[in-house]
A and B are shown apart, each in its own frame.
Chain A
């Protein structure tokens, strides 16, 4: 069987040639994980679907700019994070909309309250650090990949993550009752 990355690159090559079926192939393969990142970053499932859709459109319209030195996954996360960050800019321009609408929990596992606490706490983290935290903890990406995706140095990635975590920790431990119920 062809290695996954090779076959991603084959899809990108086909997309570069204008083959729209290759786009469907990339969507089927990657949109699940991209949706997970976007949902966590934007706090809204509808906005997340929109952002993932935009990311794939951009992937198609900018396929000619793709260079094989990029892993397709990293390339897609760069485009996706760009789309999500721009959505955050738009929300700021319309302050009547909350910055991170709280998504309903709707699944078994941790109680909705702790979930809501974490989303509220994440909303307090500045955009750049929040994007890095999300990519790191939803997708488990390395410092190098994060640096590549956001166009910053590995040192900046580390300092942003550290700062983000400090803010999260302070926000989450402000609420001892929720911490007892959800923290471990």
Chain B
């Protein structure tokens, strides 16, 4: 029999209905989901604690807990304000990338290279101290990389929380390990690519064009190609196709 003939005889509709029929779900799984959701909601509350953003005329120089310092100069004030907005959106699960420039120029060369390396770890991903050391051309300097990250003055925006030990344990974090794991969980729960259902434009989450659309007009996509396949086109502002 030819495969075409087999294809005609094969009852795909029946197979799909039969094999995809939902199976009963045990009550314990439902309870696990309810408990887990409430626990994660508490984590979300925990990471929204007040942070302040300091900036120079070149970009953000520090993210810290404490009182706001008055930024000197109009450019510094603008960067500080933009950094604060982006940070709030990020912690709210409304942003998957930072646009505000970071000013690492006051730092020593090695630390700057480590932090620049950390900035290349994509949103929602992790790497290890030793892989980051190798990436900046200093294989074997994992410990020094760890201590440079520990002194990261611009946490969140320079995502030192995405760097873990080689065995996937958390390593260290200036704001404590629960915060580090909450941030990794936050990034796992935040979509990266969203399309607007009325304009059919695909954006990176955090793009201003997307922020203007109604929240219930947004759908998540797994890739630019997937979005294109159903008639969405990439935004010209945030360029998800170039990211």
Known: A35-B29, A151-B195. A184 touches B20 (CB 8 A): no
Q: CB within 8 A of A107: which of B23, B197, B219, B226? A: B23
- CB-based contact A82/B220 at 8 Å: yes
- CB-based contact B37/A82 at 8 Å: no
- CB-based contact B33/A65 at 8 Å: no
Which residues of A have CB within 8 Å of B29?
A: 31, 35, 49
- CB-based contact A36/B23 at 8 Å: yes
Q: CB within 8 A of A49: which of B20, B23, B33? A: B33
Q: CB within 8 A of B6: which of A65, A179, A182? A: A179
Q: Which of A37-58 contact B (CB under 8 A)?
A: 37, 40, 49, 52-54, 56-58
Which residues of B have CB within 8 Å of A150?
A: 219, 230
Q: CB within 8 A of A32: which of B22, B32, B216, B220? A: B22
| Complex Cα gap A14–B22 (Å) | 29
Say yes or no: is B41 at the interface (Cβ < 8 Å to chain A). yes
In this complex, what residue of B is CB-closest to A168? B12
- CB-based contact A173/B37 at 8 Å: no
Which residues of A have CB within 8 Å of B229?
A: 126, 128, 160
Say yes or no: is B147 at the interface (Cβ < 8 Å to chain A). no
- CB-based contact B220/A24 at 8 Å: no
A47 to chain B, nearest CB (A): 11
Q: CB within 8 A of B25: which of A31, A90, A170? A: A31
Q: Which of B178-223 contact A (CB under 8 A)?
A: 188-189, 191-193, 195-197, 200, 214-223
Say yes or no: is A86 at the interface (Cβ < 8 Å to chain B). yes
B149 to chain A, nearest CB (A): 22
Which residues of B have CB within 8 Å of A54?
A: 188-189
- CB-based contact A27/B33 at 8 Å: yes
- CB-based contact B195/A114 at 8 Å: no
Name the prevailing secondary structure of the A interface residues: helix
Which residues of B have CB within 8 Å of A128?
A: 221, 226, 229-230
What are 8 A-B interface contacts by the 8 Å CB criterion? A57-B40, A86-B220, A93-B125, A110-B19, A126-B226, A134-B20, A176-B1, A179-B10
What is B's interface to A at a CB cutoff of 8 Å? 1, 3, 6-7, 10-12, 14-25, 29-30, 32-34, 36-38, 40-41, 44, 93, 122, 124-125, 188-189, 191-193, 195-197, 200, 214-223, 226, 229-231
Not counting A31-B25, A138-B20, A160-B229, a sample of 15 additional A-B residue pairs whose C-beta atoms are within 8 angstroms of each other reads: A20-B38, A23-B38, A24-B34, A31-B33, A35-B25, A36-B25, A85-B221, A86-B191, A86-B220, A126-B226, A128-B226, A138-B22, A156-B230, A172-B12, A183-B11
Q: Which 3 A-B pairs have the closest CB atoms?
A: A151-B197, A36-B22, A82-B220
What is A's interface to B at a CB cutoff of 8 Å? 20, 23-24, 27-28, 31-33, 35-37, 40, 49, 52-54, 56-58, 60-62, 65-67, 70, 75, 78, 81-83, 85-86, 88-90, 92-94, 107, 110, 114-115, 118, 126-128, 133-134, 137-139, 150-153, 156, 160, 165, 168-170, 172-174, 176, 179, 182-184
